[in-house]
A and B are shown apart, each in its own frame.
Chain A
Amino acid sequence: QKEVEQNSGPLSVPEGAIASLNCTYSDRVSQSFFWYRQYSGKSPELIMSIYSNGDKEDGRFTAQLNKASQYVSLLIRDSQPSDSATYLCAVNIGTDTGGFKTIFGAGTRLFVKA
């Protein structure tokens, strides 16, 4: 089982709709979770971080975390064509040496149709 799993998509939604992106992770003690957006040919950039169970909202974006189910999601409300990108779920996993490493899912490609 991969440490962080996402549906690769593509996910296609019409402009103005809600896009729902999902991610599951395998490490039960993970404490930090992130969503990054990557436009084609560009580097990833942070959209949301979430550290505790529940919802976290920032503008049109809502991250949801359920540690018991090892599940994190990203909702994009009022989707715009400019939201078309690959969305990467990332999880921090503790290491035996007391540090951490950030593991990414393979990403979900989102297309927002005008």
Chain B
Amino acid sequence: EAQVTQNPRYLITVTGKKLTVTCSQNMNHEYMSWYRQDPGLGLRQIYYSMNVEVTDKGDVPEGYKVSRKEKRNFPLILESPSPNQTSLYFCASSFAGRRSGANVLTFGAGSRLTVL
């Protein structure tokens, strides 16, 4: 089944304790992206990646890191989490370019993170 898999789905942690949210897709998509969703603010892009070893900042990158060493994986790293990073996080992927269906995002199920 074609899908984007995020882990963990739920996490409660404490300020300053490094954590990684993993994201993996099995559709051979070039493009991957991380979003956070907060009430009233919609989906805001954290980082995105056009392909392996190509990453760029979205609108709210502060406090986050990413890497794209393999095409299928795009982990989100919080080096020193703070309470304002409490949010619902979504990973998404798509084909890039001009082929049919390009740029249509497939989302993971979401990861709800609470930082105390």
Q: Which residues of A are interface residues toward B (Cβ below 8 A)?
A: 8, 32, 34, 36, 42-46, 49, 88, 90, 92, 95, 97, 99-107
Chain B proximity of A97: nearest CB distance (Å): 7
A44 to B94, CA, bound (A): 14
A99: B residues at CB distance < 8 A? 31, 48, 50, 54, 56, 96
The answer to whether B56 and A44 touch across the interface, beta carbons within 8 angstroms, is: no
A-B residue pairs in contact (CB < 8 Å), sample of 7: A44-B90, A44-B107, A88-B42, A90-B105, A95-B56, A102-B103, A104-B35
Q: Does B2 contact A (CB under 8 A)?
A: no
Residue of A nearest to B41 (CB): A106
Residue of B nearest to A44 (CB): B107
The answer to whether A100 and B33 touch across the interface, beta carbons within 8 angstroms, is: no
The answer to whether A97 and B104 touch across the interface, beta carbons within 8 angstroms, is: no
The answer to whether A104 and B107 touch across the interface, beta carbons within 8 angstroms, is: no
Q: Does B81 contact A (CB under 8 A)?
A: no
Known A-B contacts A99-B56, A101-B48, A101-B58; the reply to A8 vs B107 at CB < 8 A is no
Give 4 new A-B contacts, CB below 8 A, not counting A44-B43, A99-B50: A99-B54, A101-B48, A104-B45, A107-B43
Known A-B contacts A43-B90, A97-B56; the reply to A88 vs B104 at CB < 8 A is no
